[in-house]
Structure 1
Amino acid sequence: LAGDESGDSGLPPGVERLPSPGEERDEGGDLLLLHGADRQSRRERASAETTRALIATALPADDAQWRALVREATVTGSGVLLEVDDAMLPPLAASWAVRADHLDWVISSPNPLEIRTLPARRWREVELRKHLASAEAWEASFGQRPTHGHRLDPDELRLARIAHGGVEGDLDAAVRRLASGQLAGLGIRIESRRSWDSLILPPHQQRQLTELVARYQFSSTVFDQWGFRPVGAGGLVALFAGPSGTGKTLAAEVMGAALGLDVYKIDLSSIVSKYIGETEKNLERIFTAASAGNVILFFDEADALFGKRSEVSDAHDRYANIEVAYLLQRIESYEGLVVLATNLRANMDDAFLRRIHVSVEFREPDERERLRIWQLAFPPDAPTEDLDLAWLANRFRLTGGTIHNSVITGAFLAAEAGKPISMEHLVLGVDREMEKLGRLRTEHDFGPYYRFVSGTN
């Protein structure tokens, strides 16, 4: 048996052998509890804390697998590294750690285990502080340092290295792949393709956004290298406030492109539940999935979720306030970038506003900005004819989103007519958008083009 290195046939699936770091000792029986940081860092610390090789495994499914695990560790002179996800250690695991006290045991978990579930034997505990993968680790994995300031812990770096070959060597795509599978169905992925030139904002708001990107990119320098202490987990929370269509979603997309990150727009209707406890469960799924890789979480109409807490008049009000308290705690522990978008800043809960790192006010564009938005709305290959975009920018006080929708509507009208996009098509597009907004169309508004919208042409 001792000469057979094939492994016991009854072992749990996914078992891995971690080599011994040095000279082995004869006596066994240590029980080490490791929590904190990431799984890869806990594995490295476990190997450093013991002189034996380790068999790393998730919790065996039944007593037969436990017997096989203990048998394999005994025959090979190895220790056992149990990797546990929950805070409660199952009774069967605690029982086997006591029965097989001749072995070295390491129990690894993200958070401290509930003390009442621990094995009834002596143990020692080590807490690991979460840290980011070093520049040297990046160079060893990819031959380069992160180009967009990606913030990955050692385990995430290991997974990105696995994904790297499957995405044709695209480092940014490998990082994005970490969370994409887990967030599917929880939010809408916004592909970050557009650049800063696509975002028409006043200089002050543009500067705020570029500073927000820089704050994310250089957080490792400020916190890890220079030693400043972050508030909370070191993540970033931004508030985008302003009327609908003023560029809040586009700003998140542009930041995602600048950082090489995916943006996930969270569908509030799939999160908020009338059933007690379900909203927290849904949010926990989102934050846990987002923590698997670098993504920007974009909560649209966030006041519906992060709004002011109500006066407690019944059990439902009390529970709604508990939900808000939970959200405050969960956002503080998230290490990524969260964007809360709202049409009305006054609706946001004061406790949330105190946790905002950057607040950007989005207003309706002025005439000069509207003209630039009209100009950027047309792709290079779109056929146009005799457009007076300056007249449109002067006559109609529209948001960027409404201008974009007007151009799209006009393009379809032109395509249907088999003609280039003309003023007739654009003013009809504007008319359709004004109708959606509940605004009356008047001859004064449309001037010489009123005949197109009045049906008298």
Structure 2
Amino acid sequence: MHGERPGTDTPRYGQDPGGPTASRGAPAAAPALLTRLAVLRERVTALVERRAAGDPTADDPLRGLYLSEEAVRHLLRTWPPTATGDDGPGADPGPGADLGGGPATDRGTQTTDGRTADRLASLAARAGLTELDVAVLLAALAPDVDRTFEPLYGYLNDDVSRRRATVGLALDLCAVPAHAAAARARLHASAPLRALGLLEVEEPERPFPSRSLSVPDRLIGHLLGDDTPDAALLGRLHPMPEPLPADAAAEDFAHRLATRLLAGPHTVHLREQREGDGLAAIASALRLAGLDALHCPDPGDHVPELLREARLGGRAIVVPGLPEQPGPLVRALTEASDVTVLLTDPRPYDPHWSPNDPLVLEAPSRRTGGTAAWRAALGTDADAFDLAATVAPYRLGGDRVRRAAEAARALAAFDGGPVTADHVRLAARRQSASGLESHARRIRPAVDWNDLVLPDKPLTQLRELALRARHRDRVLGDWRLSAGGGRGRGVLGLFAGESGTGKTLSAEVVAADLGLDLYVVQLSSIVDKYVGETEKNLERIFTEADRTDAVLLFDEADAVFGKRSEVKDSHDRYANMESAYLLQRLESFDGIALLTTNLRANIDEAFTRRLDLVVDFPFPDPGQRLALWRHGLTHVPSADGIDPEPLARDFELAGGSIRSAVVTAAYLAAGRGGTVTAGDLLEGARREYRKAGRLVPGEGGW
């Protein structure tokens, strides 16, 4: 009713029954919240009254603007505070007790036997701090831990607004005169407290004794038992990958590196051939040494915070992959002689990066296969198929094997079945993502050996090529049959034959058998009219192919791998330089590269000498042509009784042309809504002859 007074049972407009501050339409939780606020209000009132009791300045109208000696003595009589943070025994537990906060605990400062761990003492031992350093640091951080130090520091600073320790106050508390040069030197920018990021001297415009001291929040959190990393490193720290079983050479390297790390802080630069090799070696060495590490792929501008975090926890720093201009980062990290720093990058170490040279090592290369690592990652899922044959072509490093195993399980779960070899191959290919696509066309093979119609000799050679790709590490590495001289462990093959004889298809079949993607190099993106640019483009391709599990195909390779000629002008000289570069680069290549040519005689003999296999693709005879026609019609709806034998006999077509003829016949049948007839096939064959400019046999009929 309109005449009701506030406070009666009927609420005023815009007011809920839950209380005078509840808004109209508030959710049901509002009364509960208002109840909690009422409890909080009562506790705040009680706290004010309790602290005012016995305070000589309680009735002073200038309270808070200055501190008298009597007020300071009152503060000292009420110290130390209780564990709840209040001013004396029996104090109220505070408003948080009934507001859902629960009792506060300091879990991080307790050891296993219940004793309080002195993190400040441990930090002092690691950082080489003196007793004076520790005392100054303690004086500086006191207000950040116990607020009762603030008014006391204000009184001692003779300025109620300066509630932190100053240089002069800290030295006074340590009974050291402010004019002592040795004491002042401990607060220099190069002294441990400031150089290690443990203490900040602020207000440079003031006289030195009057400058305020502050301690980073992260250091205070650490000393209180909080191991949450610095906020500046949020999103930059990654967990270290769990080391997987490796071959004997990699295990020996990890043991030697671990021994070196246990001898004291070191800076190590590992050059890796493939991404992940260095990180895998580092993870194994850290595990053997029993050291924790901060894995930070991109420190950015936060190197000081990263170094401080490492010092607080006594951990190493791992940086995989240096920036394009690594000098500033490497210099900053190598200057920290008290922290173990492990760097890894494909580039060799450059002495110009830092005057403090790290220990430079070559990371052990990841072998193809690595069955033990795959079995550890897949577990019992690896028992359902031939694991060794499945993973033989892959050289995944670091945690890529584990990620591929997880992806394979996810694919199997999506398919509703167990993990198969196909799942593992697909997952492994995806972990070997490449930058080759900017220079090459990617083909995901969808063929197999049954799609090849070839004589026995080239077919046997192709299978041998796949065999070499699987076992090259054992033969060239373990059995020491490498030619030396920096020769890589790549597999190189040349496919020679007329157009349409199956060279590109064979490359795709080999890639499919190995479970790899095929990259067809676009020669238009390589050859450049400017001197030296062609070599640069080729180097990018070979470098990317070295670190990618894939098959590289140079189609129509005559344009790049052609014969060198007699030097008659500058063009010949530069062309020969390109060939010389290619010869050297092929020898150091570690991947799988296939070259195709329509005329083998066009390829320089120096290239053929470096090839593992040269496969000649003959023009198909009538029997092979008949097999090609029948294979092309396997999945095509055809008329009953159709026989392509006359076509195979009368039309001399290569496999590619036969496929094109079948495609033409299929379109003709689809256009009229029927099946492929002999007439459709004949028309397809005739069109292939006409495209080639050849006379069509039997124009009058078949």
TM-score bracket for the superposition, by shorter chain length:
0.7 to 0.9
Determine the structure 2 residue equivalent to 1:164.
Answer: 408
Partner Cα separation in structure 2 for residue 23 and residue 213 of structure 1: 40
User: What does the per-residue CA deviation read over 1:358-415, in whole Å, with 9 as the maximum and x for residues that have no partner?
Assistant: 0001111011111111111113341225534111111111111111111111221222
Q: Contact (CA 8 Å) 1:59, 1:93: kept in 2 or not?
A: no
Moved more, 430-439 or 138-147: 138-147
1:43-73 per-residue CA deviation (whole Å, 9 max, x = no partner) reads 23552686642223235323xx122112211
Tell me whether 20-29 or 313-322 shows the greater mean CA deviation.
20-29
Alpha carbons of structure 1 residues 289 and 299: separation in structure 2 relative to 1, 3 Å: same
Query: When the two structures are superposed, what TM-score results if normalisation uses the length of structure 2?
Result: 0.58
The one of 494, 499, 512 aligned to 1:239: 494
Query: For 1:390, which of 634, 642, 645 is the aligned residue?
Result: 645
Per-residue deviation, 1:352: 1.5
| Aligned equivalents of 1:52, 1:373: Cα separation in 2 | 63
Q: Where does residue 464 of structure 2 map in the other structure?
A: 211
Alignment match, 1:453 = none
1:346 is the counterpart of 2:601: yes
Matched, 1:361 2:616: yes
Residues 1:431 and 2:670 are matched in the alignment = no
**CA distance in 1: counterparts of 2:626 and 2:651, whole angstroms:** 10
Q: 1:85 to 1:299 in 2, by over 3 A?
A: farther
1:199 equivalent in structure 2: 452
Q: Aligned in 2, Cα 1:449/1:14: closer, same or farther, shift over 3 Å?
A: farther
Determine which of 52, 68, 71 is the counterpart of 2:308. 71
CA contact (8 A) 1:179 1:289 kept: no
Would the aligned equivalents of 2:271 and 2:278 in 1 still touch at CA under 8 Å? no
Q: Take 1:437 and 1:130, find their aligned partners in 2: how far apart are those partners?
A: 50
The size of the alignment, in residue pairs, is 443
Name the amino acid aligned to 1:329. Q
AA aligned opposite 1:330: R
2:366 corresponds to 1:124: no
Q: 2:503 aligns with which of 241, 248, 253?
A: 248
Query: Given the alignment of the two structures, is residue 305 of structure 1 paired with residue 548 of structure 2, yes or no?
Result: no
The answer on 1:154 being equivalent to 2:397 is yes
| Residue 224 to residue 426, structure 1, CA distance change in 2 (3 Å) | same
Secondary structure at the aligned position of 2:619 is classed as coil
Deviation at 1:12, TM superposition (A): 7.4
Stretch deviating more after TM superposition (396-405 or 344-353):
344-353
In the alignment, the residues of structure 1 paired with residue 261 and residue 701 of structure 2 have an alpha-carbon distance, to the nearest angstrom, of: 91
Aligned twin of 2:286: 47
**2:512 is matched with which residue?**
257
1:56·1:80 contact (CA, 8 Å) conserved in 2?
yes
Structure 1 position 33 matched with structure 2 position 285 = no
Secondary structure of residue in 1 paired with 2:232: coil
SS at the partner of 2:328? Answer: helix
**Change beyond 3 A, Cα 1:126–1:183:** closer
How much does 1:334 deviate? 3.0
Q: Name the residue aligned to 1:9.
A: 231
**For residue 146 of structure 1, what is the amino acid of its counterpart?**
A
Residue identity opposite 1:229 in structure 2:
S
Relative contact order (C-alpha < 8 Å, sep 6+): which is higher? 1
> Hey, what's the Cα distance between the residues in 2 that align with 1:153 and 1:101?
33
Q: Does 1:415 align with 2:415?
A: no
Letter in 2 for 1:10: A
Percent identity (aligned): 36
Structure 1 residues 45 and 280, CA gap change in structure 2 (3 angstroms):
farther
Deviations, residues 141-193 of structure 1 (Å, cap 9, x unaligned): 12333333223243242442354345435101012213345344432233323
> Could you tell me whether the CA contact under 8 Å between 1:57 and 1:81 is conserved in 2?
yes
Relative to structure 1, is the Cα distance of residues 19 and 424 closer, same or farther in structure 2, using a 3 angstrom cutoff? Answer: closer
Query: Partner of 2:227: helix, strand, or coil?
Result: coil
User: SS in structure 2 opposite 1:16?
Assistant: coil
* DSSP-derived class of the 1:121 partner: coil
Q: Give the conservation status (yes or no) of the 8 Å contact 1:33–1:106.
A: yes
Q: How far apart are the structure 2 equivalents of 1:175 and 1:110?
A: 21
- Provide the C-alpha distance between the structure 1 equivalents of 2:292 and 2:279, rounded to a whole number of angstroms: 16
Over 3 Å counting, the alpha-carbon distance change for 1:97 and 1:424 in structure 2 is same
Q: Which moved more, 1:32-41 or 1:293-302?
A: 32-41
**Separation of aligned partners in 1, 2:348 and 2:285:** 16
Maintained 8 Å contact 2:267/2:334: no
Contact 2:351 2:357 in 1 (8 A): no
Q: Secondary structure at the match of 1:7?
A: coil
Residues in 1 aligned to 2:468 and 2:631: alpha-carbon distance in whole angstroms: 29
Higher radius of gyration, 1 or 2: 2
C-alpha deviations, 1:337-373, integer Å up to 9, x for none? Answer: 2110011111112221121000001111011111111
Residues 23, 396 of structure 1: CA spacing in aligned structure 2 closer, same or farther, 3 A cutoff? closer
Q: Match for residue 698 of structure 2?
A: 446
- Quote the Cα distance in structure 2 between the aligned partners of 1:24 and 1:335: 30
Q: Aligned in 2, Cα 1:274/1:179: closer, same or farther, shift over 3 Å?
A: farther
> Counterpart of 2:687 in structure 1: which amino acid?
R
Shifted more, 389-398 versus 5-14: the winner is 5-14
Give 3-state SS (helix, strand or coil) of 2:529's partner: coil
Gaps of 5+ in 1: 451-457
Q: Identify if the C-alpha distance between structure 1 residues 25 and 242 changes in structure 2 by more than 3 Å, giving closer, same or farther.
A: closer
Contact kept? 2:396, 2:432, Cα under 8 Å = no
1:265-284 alignment, distance < 5 Å: 265-284=520-539
Say what the alpha-carbon RMSD is for the aligned residues: 3.1
From 314, 333, 337, give the equivalent of 2:588: 333
Unaligned stretches of 5+ in structure 2?
1-218, 243-254, 413-418
Cα distance in 2 between the residues matched to 1:31 and 1:338: 37
